[in-house]
């Protein structure tokens, strides 16, 4: 494929001159020729929204930095999926749609320049903004026929300030991301949606721990995905596997399946490897191996609730090393982030509710060869629904110890609503069938397993 050096075609390093036109011109050449390579040499280059097409390779040499302009006016509406719903949102910083054979690679850095985006979201949240106010938000609300009742995950759908991800692949096949570092994303960092054959390896992602909704990698209704050798340190979930929300996601029926995650390191984050909370299309056939979790809030986290739907099944997590997490494993069907207050009575009732097509189901999950030290809240949280208990959870060869200093209240282990609080730091089990083999819990100051309503626990 023909290489195009952006400096040779007019890009100016130094981070002060907008180089967007150069990237657009190279993109047009590549589309005309059926493929090509965009070469970014050492230096900092300022850019706006970027589109890539078929058979395109974006190569950042060592010392190269792409820094994105933080002006929301540049990122006009595109139809995409945002927090589980098809809608119009702001144009991703790097957007690849309906393309094949696209590669992002090299030793350079892609900088989302996210601080101003985070500040807008924080300001809206601080005043409890529940509807669009700015002309950008109103434009999105009009395009989306926004009613205020749409499912939300907590990212700000109420205000319609639908921040862009740093990199989004939408309906693509044969995607490769390798070697690069990504920092300061306005929203989710890397977001493949409706994609097949995705490989992400040997990259790093870093967003501030307090940067809102800055997930690392969100695999969203994708198949045949391999993630290996990544290091993630972010302000929300490190890797999240999702498949659409509510009625719309159920109708689309596009699950996330056949995902391998291996040899990764997770630092700050609400969870290391997370499933949900958008689960309507189902999440299945997931294999996580040989990963390290250092201070992530939860190690393995599975979260959904009534109204989200979907089958979560055939999950395997093994050879995991954790230190300083809140808990090594949480499975929570009472996850409440983004729910509407008027739904609370039915969503978070501790009593049986009618089983519907939007009742999430979790089954056939194994977590083995796990060592976790200095767990700050508890040894685990496993809570299903009275009408849909968790089935077939197997915990094998666990060595877990609770923190003797720096512990936090047990209720920090998960965000849930409608459930009674407990004081014991062992593995909480309610409405779940769990088999434990060679599981050792130390320094919990009480029972290793806290069996509540609907718990079916076998020990060996």
Q: What is the pLDDT of residue 149?
A: 84
Examine residue 32 and state whether it is found in any structural domain, yes or no: no
Query: Rounded to 5 degrees, what angle do the CA atoms 64, 214, 22 make?
Result: 35
State mean pLDDT over 412-436. Answer: 94
Per-residue pLDDT reduced to its tens digit, 69-98: 999 999 999 999 999 999 999 999 999 999
Q: Read off the pLDDT band of 153 (50, 70, 90).
A: confident
Residue 141, pLDDT > 80, answer: yes
State mean pLDDT over 318-337. Answer: 97
State mean pLDDT over 158-167. Answer: 97
Examine residue 5 and state whether it is found in any structural domain, yes or no: no
State mean pLDDT over 319-328. Answer: 98
State mean pLDDT over 223-236. Answer: 98
How confident is the prediction for the chain on average, in pLDDT?
A: 96
Q: Which of 270, 340, 352, 443 is catalytic?
A: 270
Taking the C-alpha atoms of residue 429 and residue 331, their distance in angstroms, rounded to an integer, is 9
Examine residue 159 and state whether it is found in any structural domain, yes or no: yes
Domain carrying residue 192: 77-91+113-459
Taking the C-alpha atoms of residue 167 and residue 182, their distance in angstroms, rounded to an integer, is 10
State mean pLDDT over 379-396. Answer: 98
Collect all residues with Cβ–Cβ distance below 8 Å to 417 and sequence separation of at least 6. Answer: 334, 336, 339, 344, 347, 348
Per-residue pLDDT reduced to its tens digit, 84-136: 999 999 999 999 999 999 999 999 999 999 999 999 999 999 999 989 999 99
When divided into structural domains, the chain yields a total of: 1
CATH number for the domain harbouring residue 423: 2.160.20.10
Q: Which residues of 136-175 are buried (b: 16+ CB within 10 A; e: fewer)?
A: bbeebbeebebeeebbbbbbbbbbbbbbbbbbbbbbbbbb
* Strand 85-90 relative to strand 77-82, pairing: antiparallel
Active site residue 270: yes
Examine residue 450 and state whether it is found in any structural domain, yes or no: yes
Examine residue 216 and state whether it is found in any structural domain, yes or no: yes
Among 113, 86, 42, 63, residue whose Cα is nearest residue 252? 86
Per-residue pLDDT reduced to its tens digit, 264-274: 999 999 999 99
Q: How far is CA 449 from CA 69, 146, 327, 366, 441, in A?
A: 51, 45, 13, 17, 9
Examine residue 309 and state whether it is found in any structural domain, yes or no: yes
Examine residue 220 and state whether it is found in any structural domain, yes or no: yes
Active site residue 88: no
pTM above 0.85, yes or no: yes
pLDDT > 90 in the chain, percent? 92
Q: Which of 215, 236, 237, 297 is catalytic?
A: 236
Q: What is the pLDDT of residue 345?
A: 78
Q: What is the pLDDT of residue 106?
A: 98
Examine residue 37 and state whether it is found in any structural domain, yes or no: no
Residue 39, pLDDT > 80, answer: yes
Among 236, 411, 423, residue whose Cα is nearest residue 338? 236
Q: What is the pLDDT of residue 393?
A: 98
Q: Read off the pLDDT band of 358 (50, 70, 90).
A: very high
């Amino acid at each position: 494929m023909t290489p195009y050096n952006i400096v040779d075609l007019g890009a100016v390093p130094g981070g002060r001159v907008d180089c967007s036109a150069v990237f657009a011109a190279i993109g047009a050449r590549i589309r005309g020729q059926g493929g090509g390579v965009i070469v970014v040499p050492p230096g900092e280059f300022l850019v706006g929204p970027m589109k890539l097409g078929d058979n395109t390779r974006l190569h950042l040499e060592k010392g190269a930095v792409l820094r994105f302009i933080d002006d929301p006016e540049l990122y006009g509406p595109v139809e995409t999926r945002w927090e589980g719903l098809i809608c119009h949102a702001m144009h991703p910083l790097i957007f690849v749609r309906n393309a094949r054979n696209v590669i992002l690679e090299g030793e350079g850095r892609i900088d989302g320049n996210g601080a101003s985006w985070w500040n807008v979201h924080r300001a809206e949240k601080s005043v409890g903004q529940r509807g669009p106010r700015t002309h950008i938000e109103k434009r999105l609300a009009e395009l989306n026929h926004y009613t205020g009742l749409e499912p939300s995950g907590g990212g700000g759908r109420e205000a319609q300030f639908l921040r862009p991800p740093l990199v989004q692949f939408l309906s693509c096949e044969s995607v490769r991301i390798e070697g690069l570092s990504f920092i300061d994303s306005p929203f989710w960092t890397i977001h493949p949606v409706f994609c097949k054959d995705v490989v992400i390896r040997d990259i790093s992602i870093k967003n501030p721990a307090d940067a809102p909704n800055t997930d690392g990698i969100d695999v969203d209704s994708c198949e045949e995905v391999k993630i290996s050798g990544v290091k993630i340190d972010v302000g929300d979930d490190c890797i999240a596997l999702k498949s659409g929300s509510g009625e719309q996601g159920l109708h689309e029926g596009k699950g996330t399946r056949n995902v391998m995650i291996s040899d990764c390191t997770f630092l700050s984050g609400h969870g290391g490897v997370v499933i949900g909370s958008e689960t309507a299309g189902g999440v299945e056939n997931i294999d996580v191996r040989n990963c390290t979790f250092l201070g992530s809030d939860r190690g393995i986290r599975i979260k959904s609730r009534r109204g989200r739907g979907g089958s979560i099944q055939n999950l395997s997590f093994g050879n995991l090393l954790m230190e300083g997490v809140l808990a090594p494993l949480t499975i929570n069907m009472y996850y409440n982030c983004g729910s509407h207050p008027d739904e609370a009575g039915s969503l978070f009732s501790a009593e049986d509710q009618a089983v519907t097509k939007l009742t999430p189901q979790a089954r056939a999950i194994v977590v083995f060869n796990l060592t976790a030290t200095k767990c700050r809240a508890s040894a685990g949280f496993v809570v299903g629904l009275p009408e849909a208990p968790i089935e077939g959870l197997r915990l094998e060869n666990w060595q877990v110890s609770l923190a003797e200093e720096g512990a936090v209240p047990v209720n920090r282990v998960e965000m849930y609503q409608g459930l009674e609080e407990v004081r014991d730091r062992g593995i909480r089990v309610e409405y779940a069938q769990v088999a434990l083999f060679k599981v050792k819990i130390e320094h919990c100051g009480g029972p290793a397993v806290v069996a509540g309503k609907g718990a079916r626990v076998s020990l060996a």
